[in-house]
């Protein structure tokens, strides 16, 4: 019999604590072992019983969540999911939380329709399960095969393409998909890419408003230009475009010009943006001219899309288990033979760059 994931909720709002408890305990794999109105109360509860995962607000009395997170990571690392209603002007704090060790950051549930609350429950429970799998310090429960219907595929956004339908050109595209643990993985990957790297398009599962701050942060730390994608942005050498939160990102092509389109549409694999949508559009419009990379993350978003890329002639890469925070998405891709090669995170950038040089020289 599987052990339930034990969760401690830390939030100064009684309404939020009650709502989160109700949403989480509706999932048979999750048990809320306690709630705390601030980090001081939380520390006392942790001393009595260790949770597997902590959900943490940022703006709280007596001690802010970011300070508590940093102390926790130093003294007793436990997977932390930030659940916050941070507005766009405070997203830099959210980025700092991820850099300080938070596994996920999701928006706080809002008052709304039953459909919205159900959608929030799925996001929250998925985040808890992803955090429970994260490699922080100790072994934690691994929950698999969690599915909630209806579950849309990339067909909801873009029709498929015939394998091998795109002719070879001189420009190549790198498409990357990541989720839990992806903020750190993307930083390491992009920092190693040289200024003449092929155009890069990225889906990182992240709430709306946070993607712009994340892109700006990467832009400050990398040799290449990094920005949040906007409609009609050109995909060019030396630039990486990151999907805007709550919007799917599609690659398009007009003649020799590659560009992107951002659309809303339904959740695909319970995500918007979805990696499957990005990969399908890359298979359709770039084909053999593309390199696909699937990185750390829970679930299977991107696995089928990576296979479509491979069948369209693209070279595909999956991050290996040892270097993943959560070996969900890459593992699902590997299972269906969607990856041409499996590599550790610190080898992916150099491998991609050398492979792309061989492509341009006519050697495959």
- Looking up residue 323, the CATH number of its domain turns out to be 3.40.50.180
State whether 199 and 259 are in the same domain: yes
Average pLDDT over residues 5-15: 92
Single out the residue of 300, 301, 302 nearest to residue 292, CA to CA.
Answer: 302
- Could you give phi then psi for residue 235, rounded to 5 degrees? -95, 105
Instruction: Name, in order, each residue with C-beta under 8 angstroms of 299's C-beta and a sequence gap of 6 or more.
Output: 126, 130, 179, 269, 270, 328, 329, 332
In tens, the pLDDT along 287-344 reads 999 999 999 998 999 999 999 999 999 999 999 999 999 999 999 999 999 999 999 9
Selected catalytic residue, list 205, 209, 247, 271: 205
Flag whether 311 is in a domain: yes
Is pLDDT at 124 greater than 50 in this prediction? Answer: yes
In tens, the pLDDT along 200-217 reads 999 999 887 789 989 999
Number of domains in the chain: 2
Flag whether 149 is in a domain: no
Flag whether 147 is in a domain: no
In tens, the pLDDT along 248-281 reads 999 999 888 999 999 998 989 889 999 999 999 9
- Give the pLDDT score at 166: 46
In tens, the pLDDT along 215-236 reads 999 999 999 999 999 999 999 9
Single out the residue of 5, 116, 98 nearest to residue 56, CA to CA.
Answer: 98
State whether 178 and 305 are in the same domain: yes
**Band (149; pLDDT cuts 50, 70, 90):** very low
Active site residue 205: yes
In angstroms, the Cα distances linking 362 to 138, 276, 355, 358 are: 47, 29, 11, 6
Which of helix, strand or coil describes residue 131?
Answer: helix
- Give the pLDDT score at 223: 95
Q: Are the beta carbons of 65 and 97 closer than 8 angstroms?
A: yes
Is pLDDT at 176 greater than 90 in this prediction? Answer: yes
Selected catalytic residue, list 100, 179, 281, 323: 179
The percentage of residues in the chain with a pLDDT greater than 70, rounded to a whole number, is 84
Which of helix, strand or coil describes residue 135?
Answer: coil
Flag whether 23 is in a domain: yes
State whether 213 and 99 are in the same domain: no
The percent of the chain in helix, strand and coil, each rounded to the nearest 5, is 35, 20, 40
Q: Which DSSP helix (H) or strand (E) runs through 204?
A: strand 199-204
Instruction: Name, in order, each residue with C-beta under 8 angstroms of 132's C-beta and a sequence gap of 6 or more.
Output: 5, 52, 53, 79, 140, 141, 142, 143
- Give the pLDDT score at 106: 80
- Give the pLDDT score at 86: 59
- Give the pLDDT score at 338: 98
Q: Are the beta carbons of 297 and 326 closer than 8 angstroms?
A: yes
- pTM equals 0.80
State whether 186 and 222 are in the same domain: yes
State whether 310 and 184 are in the same domain: yes
The residue among 157 and 40 whose pLDDT is bigger is 40
What is the C-alpha to C-alpha distance for residues 54 and 35, in angstroms, rounded to an integer? 10
**Band (155; pLDDT cuts 50, 70, 90):** low
Average pLDDT over residues 42-58: 93
Ranges of beta strands (E only) in 222-289 are 225-228, 239-242, 248-254, 257-263
- Give the pLDDT score at 87: 41
Flag whether 146 is in a domain: no
- Give the pLDDT score at 28: 94
What is the C-alpha to C-alpha distance for residues 361 and 194, in angstroms, rounded to an integer? 18
Is pLDDT at 356 greater than 50 in this prediction? Answer: yes
Flag whether 148 is in a domain: no
State whether 250 and 209 are in the same domain: yes
Residue 210 structural domain: 154-360
Structural tokens at position 45: 């509860």
Average pLDDT over residues 89-99: 75
**Band (16; pLDDT cuts 50, 70, 90):** confident
In tens, the pLDDT along 183-203 reads 999 999 999 999 999 999 999
Buried b (16+ CB within 10 A) or exposed e, 71-93: ebbeeeebbbbbbbebeeeebeb
**Band (64; pLDDT cuts 50, 70, 90):** confident
Average pLDDT over residues 53-82: 89
- Give the pLDDT score at 167: 46
State whether 88 and 158 are in the same domain: no
- Give the pLDDT score at 341: 98
- Give the pLDDT score at 8: 97
Is pLDDT at 56 greater than 90 in this prediction? Answer: yes
Q: What is the mean pLDDT of the chain?
A: 86
How do 80-84 and 53-56 pair as beta strands?
parallel
Q: Are the beta carbons of 288 and 173 closer than 8 angstroms?
A: no
Residue where a domain terminates, one of 68, 101, 133? 133
Selected catalytic residue, list 11, 52, 301, 320: 301
Is pLDDT at 113 greater than 50 in this prediction? Answer: no
CATH number, domain of 101, equals 3.40.50.2300
Active site residue 209: no
What is the C-alpha to C-alpha distance for residues 121 and 60, in angstroms, rounded to an integer? 23
Active site residue 301: yes
């Amino acid at each position: 019999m599987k052990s339930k994931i034990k969760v401690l909720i830390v939030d100064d709002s009684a309404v939020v604590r009650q709502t989160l408890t109700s949403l989480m305990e509706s999932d048979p794999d999750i048990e809320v072992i306690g709630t705390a109105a601030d980090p001081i109360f939380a520390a006392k509860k942790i001393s009595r019983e260790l949770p597997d995962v902590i959900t943490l607000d940022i703006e709280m009395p007596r001690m802010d969540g970011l300070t508590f997170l940093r102390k926790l990571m130093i003294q007793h690392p436990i997977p932390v999911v930030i659940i916050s209603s941070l507005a766009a002007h405070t997203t830099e704090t959210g980025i700092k939380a991820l850099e300080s060790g938070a596994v996920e950051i999701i928006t706080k549930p809002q008052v709304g329709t039953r459909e919205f609350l159900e959608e929030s429950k799925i996001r929250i429970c998925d985040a808890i399960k992803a955090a429970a799998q994260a490699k922080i310090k100790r072994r934690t429960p691994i929950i698999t095969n969690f599915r909630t219907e209806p579950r849309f595929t990339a067909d909801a956004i873009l029709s498929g393409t015939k394998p091998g339908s795109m002719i070879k050109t001189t420009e190549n595209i790198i498409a990357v998909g990541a989720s839990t643990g992806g903020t750190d993985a993307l930083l390491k990957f992009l920092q190693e890419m040289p200024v003449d790297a092929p155009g890069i398009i990225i889906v990182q599962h992240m709430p709306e408003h946070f993607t712009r701050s994340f892109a700006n942060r990467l832009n400050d730390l990398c040799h290449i230009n990094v920005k949040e994608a906007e409609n009609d942005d050109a995909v060019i050498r030396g630039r990486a475009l990151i999907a805007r939160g709550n919007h799917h990102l599609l690659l398009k092509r007009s003649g020799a010009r590659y560009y992107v389109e951002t659309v809303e549409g339904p959740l695909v694999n319970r995500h918007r943006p979805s990696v499957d949508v990005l990969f399908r559009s890359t298979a359709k419009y770039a084909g053999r001219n593309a390199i696909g990379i699937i990185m750390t993350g829970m679930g299977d978003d991107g696995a089928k899309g990576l296979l479509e890329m491979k069948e369209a002639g693209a070279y595909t890469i999956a991050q290996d288990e040892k270097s993943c925070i959560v070996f969900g998405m890459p593992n699902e891709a590997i299972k269906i033979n969607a990856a041409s090669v499996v590599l550790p995170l610190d080898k992916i950038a150099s491998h991609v760059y050398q492979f792309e040089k061989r492509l341009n020289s006519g050697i495959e």
